[in-house]
Amino acid sequence: MDGILLVDKPENITSNHLVQKIKKHFKQITGKEIKVGHTGTLDYFASGLMVITVGKATRLTEYFQGLDKEYIATGELGKITDTYDRQGRVIEEKECKIDEDQLKDIILSFKKRYLQTPPPYSSKRIEGKRAYQLAKKGIQVKLKPKEVTIYSIQILKIEMPFFTIKVHCSSGTYIRSLVKEIGDKAGCGAYVKSLRRTKVGIFSVENAIKLEELLRMTEQDIESRLIDIKDALYFFTEILLDPVFDERFIKGQRFKVPYSIKGLVKVLDKNKRFLGIGEIKENQILQPVKVFI
């Protein structure tokens, strides 16, 4: 079993626990240890799409991590929690004095590129420790802001003090931080009440398998839902090698190719068999990066 599996994560389970459940099920139905990974965590309380790598595809995790994301989030104005979400402890409450139209203007003002500070309870590393590990011990940490892009932000519902938004954003954007920033701009703070990831790149939660359903599936059922590695890497330019060069690529040798593009590429042979990932450098030289044969 090699490929990408789209899984709909339920609420109240960690991303790592979900991976372990899938791994255990695979061993039960195949009798073998199969590598399973994920391409980006979802918070414990959040639900939605997780792109799961299976078998040889676990070697490609890094390439999926940078894909854009889409989320649907509900925030509550007037309360701030230490985690910026419903799991946290309320540390401040303020009266919210804005009306619905003002809130709409504030929300839509976040369609931009800007420097966003991650929440104190996040997986960011600080001197080898995760930020949330330090936060749990009461250690205050200063996290570096990161440039993020909100490509679009759609208001789905406002029922004061609650608001629901759909956000299309760059990888690395924290929706918990975004909701708090909306609340801060409104003058009363806010936290995330619910969060669901609906898209990762072109992959949609509508095509995902619910975890409880996956854990009842047979090996054949799962294989029928696996997205082939070659197809999953839709975001890479595809190049075809002449037969004489197939073996050279597989052996990790560098050679010139008739392509004027630069950067990472998906390498196939003339029969469209996936050989691996390469990088075209100066002077049209192809350098094998990850070989899959």
CATH number for the domain spanning 260: value is 2.30.130.10
* Angstrom distance (rounded) from CA 136 to CA 88: 11
Residue range of the domain that includes 80:
73-192
Q: Are residues 130 and 176 in the same domain?
A: yes
Any domain includes 226: yes
Q: Are residues 52 and 148 in the same domain?
A: no
Say how many domains are in the chain. Answer: 3
Query: Which of 166, 192, 218 is the C-terminal boundary of a domain?
Result: 192
Q: Are residues 14 and 42 in the same domain?
A: yes
Catalogue the active-site residues. Answer: 43
Chunk the chain into consecutive blocks of 10 residues (it has 293) and report each block's average pLDDT, rounded to whole numbers: 96 96 97 94 95 96 95 98 92 95 98 92 53 50 86 98 98 96 97 98 98 97 96 96 93 94 95 96 95 90
Any domain includes 35: yes
Q: Are residues 93 and 177 in the same domain?
A: yes
Any domain includes 198: no
Q: Are residues 123 and 179 in the same domain?
A: yes
Q: Do residues 249 and 270 touch, judged by C-beta distance below 8 A?
A: no
* pTM score of the predicted model: 0.90
Q: Are residues 102 and 129 in the same domain?
A: yes
Q: Are residues 176 and 255 in the same domain?
A: no
Any domain includes 249: yes
pLDDT at site 134: 43
Q: Are residues 40 and 149 in the same domain?
A: no
pLDDT at site 1: 87
CATH number at residue 159: 3.30.2350.10
Any domain includes 104: yes
Any domain includes 164: yes
Any domain includes 197: no
Query: Which of 192, 222, 250 is the C-terminal boundary of a domain?
Result: 192
pLDDT at site 137: 46
Q: Are residues 114 and 178 in the same domain?
A: yes
* Angstrom distance (rounded) from CA 208 to CA 51: 9
Q: Are residues 23 and 129 in the same domain?
A: no
Q: Are residues 79 and 58 in the same domain?
A: no
pLDDT at site 144: 82
Q: Are residues 61 and 166 in the same domain?
A: no
Any domain includes 107: yes
